[in-house]
Amino acid sequence: MIKYIIIDDEHIAHDIIKNYCDMLPNMEHMTDCYDAIEALDYLSKTNVDLIFLDLNMPKLKGFEFLKTLPSPPKVIVTTAYSEFALEGFELNVVDYLLKPFSFERFLKAVNKVSESNTTANVSAVHDHKTSTGQIFLRQNKSYIQVDISDILYIEASGNYTKVVTNDDTITVREKISDMLDSLSSNEFLQVHKSFVVAKTHISRIEGNRIHLKDAIVPIGKLYKANINDLLK
């Protein structure tokens, strides 16, 4: 579960974020804070995994608040002001959501938190069955929760991307580059302009082909360096 709080001086912002989070089974709402001082008091007593942080608040602005935290949790900025995006990423925020944002854009940000938690908790050499991170994928009008450890490979298919797992193939309307941004480079590797593979599922590399269970994925000429780095 991802334990989260919302820090925003607008009640409607709390309602929107909480309604979005309520649609996801791995999100646990801890409290609502309407200014940074209230949040500082709460965080001094309680640990959380994620903060949804507004920037333009009374008493103490969002980034000034963030700079006071010695070991901040993951932060997703939610604001109407795009000009502060660069500063946000310098402070290592997970994502920067411009109001008003859609559920799809919100979901992409939360998926980054789920993925980064998995990377932090799994060693570089590991049994993939110990990975517990999930990602939500939209297929048509439904959202499918997928264990990241079950993903074998990802394939570009026109305006869509196919996510092939141990048991299923899910087709999403998203570029393969955007999918790759949502996944850890420690676990996934682009081997062709149209293919990204999960490193732990590679059973054999033979010539310009990668074998993953019953599938064979080609290696593109421009991506051979990635394979060479993997084999070092």
| Alpha-carbon gap, residue 146 to 167, rounded angstroms | 10
Neighbours of 215 (CB within 10 A): 15
pTM above 0.85, yes or no: no
Given CATH 3.40.50.2300, say whether it is the number of domain 2-110. Answer: yes
Same fold, 2-110 and 148-232: no
Length of the chain measured in residues: 232
Structure tokens at 196: 């990204």
What are the structural domain ranges in the chain? 2-110, 148-232
Would you call 97 helix, strand, or coil by DSSP? strand
Residue pointed to by tokens 């310009």: 208
Given CATH 3.40.50.720, say whether it is the number of domain 148-232. Answer: no
Question: What pLDDT digit, counting tens, does each position of 52-74 carry?
Answer: 999 988 888 888 998 898 888 99
pLDDT above 70 covers what percent of the chain?
A: 89
State the chain's mean pLDDT as an integer. Answer: 85
Lowest-confidence pick of 91-95, 112-116, 177-181, 185-189: 112-116
Which pLDDT band holds residue 120 (cuts at 50, 70, 90)?
A: very low
Starting at the edge strand that comes first in sequence, how are the strands of the sheet with 95-98 ordered?
27-33, 2-7, 50-53, 74-79, 95-98
Which pLDDT band holds residue 130 (cuts at 50, 70, 90)?
A: very low
pLDDT of 6 > 90? The answer is: yes
Summary count for the chain: helices (H), strands (E): 7, 15
Alpha carbons within 13 angstroms on the beta-carbon side of residue 93 total 26
User: What amino acid occupies position 85?
Assistant: A
Q: What is the pLDDT of residue 63?
A: 87
